[in-house]
Chain A
């Protein structure tokens, strides 16, 4: 190490069978073989150059909500996380103890959201998120993944969706929501497996499972906007991708391929996806890159982009404005990940009369703390996750808004946890929920 280690307080230990039980099968030789295989075969220039170019300046620290929220504990800074994982692995040429791999999984999987804010603060633009994703890959290859997260990946592998939704449950849910939507808008329909539609709409598996009303919402919106759309009845309807975050890139690729092929088979002109950040990232970036495409074969549009198009083109008219004070959450994967911050603000201003923007905003917004697969690591890690984002609570409280518009499922859940953890007294809403309350339903379509 060079000099005496810093005295830092012990961190609380979290039990997780995906880590605790699975490390019992490991030994240093096996670990070294896997680490060296991943580094030799799956990494190249970026990995080596990033590790060798980092001059240990620590300027990335102020980017990270984990660092800032944990009283600037250096173990949570981006470079601190790389030090505790990759530096040690490289120093020991991969020959590390199973207990060490457990810590690597905890750090890379539950104490980093791979939100990429640090790359905006590092003077060299080092992709620290990529380095920690490589740590996740190594841990996955060794079978060390938080249990709850691995369950969603198993579900992806078996059912091609994240939540063990069976095909009859999927179709039932769509038909149910179609009925619900019809009770508001007479022409609302969810056409299944229609060929050549303008829009192929996909959702994340939690929607049919626990947020089915959002599907009913979109059916109403599509009817009012007179969009020619469809949803698939078969596999490929789920655009979420937990395998992307656990390091199981093979399953990630399978899931993305199924999603894109479903749209391709139905000859859809474009894919519109619901309000989710990581799903967009998987469909547009990580999936295609793994599958060898520079761009997705069918263009993918995020909900924010789609709503912006509907509102600015006049296909949806706004009848009244939402008047409670609102603020917005700039989801990492669509703002840092797609530059949709400006469009998001435009649609919020179009539908809300009292908008209180957060500081910092746009690409500099703090991650919600839930993304990157961390909330999917489940209840064991919730305390750590909420503790790791007090800066978010401060940022939201400073806006003095009542409602936080979160156009991303992870942000929605993560900020809900922060609201209750820090007793902010605020509420979260998806943008579609705001649109439902503000959009004009023409008289001839309104059900009475």
Chain B
């Protein structure tokens, strides 16, 4: 156990030094590190609890996605039957299904055949395993039920989340934040982490808006007061503006925000009010021109997420494909609306289901306290080990110091996130790393007592203790691994440092401590074991 070939000794030292070297970039300012070669730039990322920032977990409203999908199916059924000139009576949505009753005299079989065209194989021709998007059932009496398959809905939700992630990314980036992380969590969730963001109110506002922009005509056949008292016309609905003023707006969308190519905040030249100016793509511009031409003198409502922003009267046809929205905005309001319009509408509303924000003050305090605790803990352990084992205690302290440096090196190599519980994990590792040395030294003491010569006692001590060290560390490692897989954020940070700490502890016990002691034995040829 005490013999090291030259090569083995060198490779142990090189591994340890390399691992420690990876920790170096952490001690230099970012600006300097950025000029280093790429492989040397890896460094530990401070968790949001240490550097401050916002963590938002968003959920895509899958019910809205489901409803929208059912509505689309309903529209398709109507279109297909109309095109085929098949008469029908009831057409209703029920849960995930659409039911339609074919009028007497029409052939239900023809209708069925036409409607079957609506059901497509899922995932194109290749994938999907024969799954289709819609199940069609022929109920008695001309009643046909079309049900969306679960697979089709799941697929749609998946697409919505993908789309939402892109849009969230665009919106967050527009805020000018530094290194935001946006990633999918589970099936229908999006995790947004923005380091350094102190007050997420604006971010939450921007993410909380679906931003569906529509241009629709105001229904002049009824005044809002009449509509509120009775029923609005069947093709119209009552929408309010920010101040609660009601409007009767046609349901039919003339032009939608999808046709926008650009939106910029600005100021009105005459009133110097904040405005948002926008530009349509060619299809949108044509449509916009046509509508404004046909409806000069009528109010044209601009609706965002079912709220009327403004309803100006069309004075003259707008042919250039660009226009401006003024709606008594604040400067920031105009800015946010422009961001939302540029980034595009979310396919479904997002709900914030978890928020964790740490201000920079608390983060700084935590780093400070973590440093003090680490320093005090280390000093206590070092002094205790020196008092207990003398020279061998010194060896142990060297091993533990290298151990901690290696933890930092490996964390940097993995670009891992260091959290406050993570610091606790490192401090604990110091206490535990010492344990491997204690196991070895106590075993050596025992072997000495049982009458072995010093060298043979040291040798036997290592051999017997190492098996124990392996066993005991693997059990802790299992706990750390489980913690890593179930934990999020700060807790995962703890699992990472604990797990890496165990690996480096086993490494130093098996190689470095042994190498130090072996070199010392070769050098001094001790007659007595000084522990």
A and B associate: no
Interface residues of A, Cβ cutoff 8 Å to B: none
